[in-house]
Amino acid sequence: MSVPGHPLDRMFNPKTVAIIGDKGPNYMWLRNNQPFKDRGGNLYSVQIDEKEIPGIEELGVENFRALTDIPEPVDYALVAVPRHVSPYVMKDLIEAEVGGAAFFTSGFAETGEELGVSLQAQLTEMAREANFNVVGPNCMGLYLPRAGVRFNPDVPVADDGRVGFVSQSGTHSIMFSLVMGANGMHLSRCASFGNAIVLDISDYLEYLTEDPETEVIAMYVEGVKDGPRFVKALRAATARKPVVVWKGGQTDAGARATMSHTGSLASPHAVWQGIMRQCGAISTNSLDETVDAVKVLLDAKPSTGKRMALMAMTGGQSVSITDAFVGQGFEVGRLSEQSYEELSSFFNIIGGSFQNPLDMAGTVQGKRETLERILGILDADESVDALVMEQSAMFGARQWKDHPERVEDLVDTLASHIERSAKPFLMVMHPAHEEAFVAEVRLKFAERRIPVFASFERAAAAAARALPQGTRS
């Protein structure tokens, strides 16, 4: 799937990729992009250094001494040459009519030194004049999980990516992709755009808005060069799909010279937050908040209601889950009389409670029918807008290790409930003392699209940000 006719479509859907200037002993970029070759893409190397060529060919990649020698149209090129060589490469890229190129090469304006600034100006002028698509420089370029184009050897190759990510930081683009993968969520397309000399955040945002594979857009941004254009692109994007904006550099710099009260109060952070709300975007401040918000958007059904039914395994957790959700502006009120009537017919109130929150370990005791019954009652209750259930690894891990089928059974119970119910369902699974085990188990939930959060606070914050815009139907 692609966006036919869009100027960025070729580079975002490449059939042929060239890696320019990759070097041994690791050949980082050629190795990152092996999956592209494995998936049937034409992967080529461009390298003039005779010493490097045998290593490249050993990887099964055909090398050319000049980009213009490659016998077919190149859709995307990754450039990793020394900075002083970059203008020569740019000339070839333009001549070969490559669909777009990312410059991993750095040492440009970000250094603040004269040579870097002038080289960047030279690249910018060449590319602009030729209307050539440049990603970066000083960036990690594109990550296209379905195509197998990657910027890191550990980010997943996947066909089910639904989240587009755009990032001013290369590190954050990799970290986001990895953490998303560890949570069972995949990207549709990702661009790390660095110095953005030609293509800027709004260009990528516009593409992802049109891209049918991208259901949710997230981005990491420190600052924008063209504010009005960004606002226009962001508004157009939020009209089509949810957009999460993670803003870096939120600490306000020194006070601005101002003669008005309004000016003195207008910190860049406060103004940014206002603009994001006005544009209908979801604001986040960190990687985890961004991943959590995306998780709600992808896997929760939408709800603007604030009335939560909270389910915990024990008394202490019942108090804590309530604190977390009330703290985020949710209501944890009484259930309907009918619900109480039904619950009272089987709920074990010795060491448990069914007021709301429900303290229910003693009642459920691992019995699928009982959990289903409780979920059904809460689902039918008209005074409940959304359900949140706690299942801590504190007790769970031991049982699940001894009886793996119980995990499958719980996953199936919850997934079936979600399919039947129109209300959002979130799960909180604190890893307790079992970080590694929970990381594995969590993926089983994610496979069936059960959104799992590591703490009450994270679940509540993500719900407050994103529940109204949940995309699951």
Partner 1 sequence: MTFADTISSARAENRTLLSEVEAKAALGDAGVPVTATSLAQTREEAAAQAEAMGYPVALKVVSPNVAHKSDVGGVVLGLESHEEVAEAYDEIIRSVQAAQPSATIEGVSVQEMASPGVEVIVGVTTDPQFGPVMMFGLGGIMVEVLGDVAFRLAPLGEGDARDMIDEIQGRQVLDGVRGQPPVDLGAIEAMLDRVSVFAAEHPEVAELDLNPVIASPEGAIAVDARIVLAEA
The residue (of 225 and 240) whose beta carbon lies closer to partner 1 is: 225
Q: Which amino acid is at 288?
A: D
Q: Where are the alpha helices (DSSP H) in 59-215?
A: 86-95, 114-130, 170-182, 201-210
Does position 265 interact with partner 1 (CB under 8 A)? The reply is yes
> What are the tokens at 315?
């008394």
Nearest approach in angstroms of CB 325 to partner 1 is 20
Does position 262 interact with partner 1 (CB under 8 A)? The reply is yes
CA 412 to the chain's CA centroid: 25
Does position 277 interact with partner 1 (CB under 8 A)? The reply is yes
Nearest approach in angstroms of CB 140 to partner 1 is 25
Bridging pattern class, strands 386-390 and 308-312: parallel
The residue (of 178 and 266) whose beta carbon lies closer to partner 1 is: 266
Does position 270 interact with partner 1 (CB under 8 A)? The reply is yes
Phi, psi for 42 (deg, rounded to 5): -90, 110
> What are the tokens at 168?
């001013």
Bridging pattern class, strands 141-143 and 187-192: antiparallel
Q: Which of 94, 117, 178, 275 binds partner 1 (CB under 8 A)?
A: 275
> What are the tokens at 358?
């429900």
The residue (of 268 and 362) whose beta carbon lies closer to partner 1 is: 268
Nearest approach in angstroms of CB 386 to partner 1 is 22
The residue (of 30 and 243) whose beta carbon lies closer to partner 1 is: 243
Helix-strand-coil split of the chain, %, nearest 5: 45, 15, 40
Does position 261 interact with partner 1 (CB under 8 A)? The reply is yes
Q: Which of 66, 115, 271, 439 binds partner 1 (CB under 8 A)?
A: 271
Q: Which of 60, 73, 153, 223 binds partner 1 (CB under 8 A)?
A: 223
Nearest approach in angstroms of CB 461 to partner 1 is 18
Q: Where are the alpha helices (DSSP H) in 198-286?
A: 201-210, 227-238, 261-265, 268-279
Q: Which of 68, 106, 122, 273 binds partner 1 (CB under 8 A)?
A: 273
> What are the tokens at 208?
């992802």
Q: Which of 135, 166, 224, 332 binds partner 1 (CB under 8 A)?
A: 224
d(CA 182, CA 439): 7
Does position 259 interact with partner 1 (CB under 8 A)? The reply is yes
Rg (Cα) of the chain, in Å, rounded?
A: 26
From 229, 190, 232, select the one nearest 211 (Cα to Cα): 190
d(CA 438, CA 150): 27
Does position 227 interact with partner 1 (CB under 8 A)? The reply is yes
Q: Which amino acid is at 44?
A: Y
The residue (of 36 and 193) whose beta carbon lies closer to partner 1 is: 193
Q: Which of 54, 73, 153, 274 binds partner 1 (CB under 8 A)?
A: 274
Does position 239 interact with partner 1 (CB under 8 A)? The reply is no
The residue (of 65 and 256) whose beta carbon lies closer to partner 1 is: 256
Q: Which of 73, 263, 329, 333 binds partner 1 (CB under 8 A)?
A: 263
Q: Which of 5, 40, 228, 254 binds partner 1 (CB under 8 A)?
A: 228
- Residue 227 contacts by C-beta under 8 Å, 6 or more apart in sequence? none
d(CA 361, CA 367): 10
Q: Which of 278, 285, 338, 399 binds partner 1 (CB under 8 A)?
A: 278
Binding residues for partner 1, rule: CB under 8 A, are 223-224, 227-228, 231, 258-263, 265-268, 270-271, 273-275, 277-278
